[in-house]
Amino acid sequence: MNDATQLISIFSAAMAVSFGAIGPALAEGRAVASAMDAIARQPDSAGTVSRTLFVGLAMIETMAIYALVVALLVLFANPFIK
Amino acid sequence: MTHSPLQTPALLNVGPVAITEPVIVTWIIMALLVAFAAAVTLRLDPVPSKAQTFLEVIVSTVDDQIRSTMLVEPGPYRAFIGTIFIFILVANWSSLIPGVEPPTAHLETDTAFAALVFCATIFYGIRSRGLFGYLATFAEPTWIMIPLNIVEQITRIFSLIVRLFGNIMSGVFIGAIVLSLAGLLVPIPFMALDVLTGAIQAYIFSVLAMVFIGAAVAGEK
């Protein structure tokens, strides 16, 4: 019983991170692409754009971090593994 | 970090109270910050020294950020927002010292900060609008939104906790994994990335605190 729970926990932790990373990865790609576009159009505003970009990237990355935290909860603080 | 990132083993016991490593690091950082600020501000000079100029730059930057984010005069909020920003920044960067694990990589520290932000939101909201004025903001735009607004108050604090914890803890965790797999000096690029992440997360945490408090006191003259 416990072995099966551990097996499923490890599998679902890997699933959580791998699928949870897809959305933020696509979103970060889009954000960087638009920022590059904006800087190419208006090189003067590169400072403002890149500062906003970093903050926005950190916000997007948080979604992947949530998945990572859930995976760690499943691995290290799983209530069903005695 | 070889143990689970969600547990903090006790280092020593003072009576019934277990003292863990984050507690000690937190107190050392607090002592250093207070000592530095006290040492500089006790000898304020119209012709500023280097340290005084440094502090003045920090204070005026925090003031500018508060003014542009909250659209109010920074006076009542400078101490709270500034303290949160500087402490989280120093705590995040404390991982650069060998053997020190940043206290923000533990859930308890982040929970304490988010609880402070939660209480500050209510405190400033009641102070600027009055108790009933503040409660009335939950019924905006209509009374149907009351449950949603209450849930939002709690979930945004949770996301504040998990955001800071996850970012800093994952940095420490990845560093430890790379160190155990590849060996000495290899984690240095990851640590350089951690410096950037730490600064951005400290900034985001304080900006979100500003946004929450700003929303609670909106319309104040």
Q: What is the mean pLDDT of chain B?
A: 87
| Residues of chain A contacting B204 with CB distance shorter than 8 Å | 55, 58-59
Stretch B55-62: mean pLDDT, rounded?
91
Euclidean distance between CA atoms B123 and B54, whole angstroms: 31
- Pick from A58, A68, A76: CB nearest B170: A68
- Sequence-separated (6 or more) residues with CB below 8 Å from residue B195: B93, B96
Query: Could you give phi then psi for residue A74, rounded to 5 degrees?
Result: -65, -40
Query: CA-to-CA distance for B69 and B60, rounded, in angstroms?
Result: 14
Measure CB to CB from residue A77 to each of B6, B197, B203 and give the nearest one.
Answer: B6
Q: Does residue B220 carry a pLDDT above 80? A: no
Closest approach of B40 to chain A, Cα-based (Å): 31
Banded pLDDT at B83 (limits 50, 70, 90) = very high
- Find the closest chain A residue to B196 by CA distance: A54
pLDDT at B137: 84
Q: Which residues of A touch B7 (CB under 8 A)?
A: 76
User: What's the rounded Cα separation, in Å, for the pair B103 and B124?
Assistant: 27
> Could you report the per-residue pLDDT of B96-150, keeping only the tens digit for each?
888 888 999 888 899 999 999 999 999 999 988 888 888 888 887 888 888 888 8
Q: Collect all residues of chain B within an 8 Å Cβ-Cβ radius of residue A55.
A: 200, 203-204, 207
Q: Parallel, antiparallel, or unpaired for β B17-20 and B10-14?
A: antiparallel
Distances (CA, A) of B69 to B65, B86, B204, B215, B217: 6, 18, 12, 10, 12
Would the CB atoms of B200 and A76 count as touching at under 8 Å? no
- Residue numbers of chain A with a pLDDT score lower than 70: 1, 82
- Does ipTM top 0.90? no
Residues of chain A contacting residue B200, judged by C-beta atoms under 8 Å apart: 54-55, 58
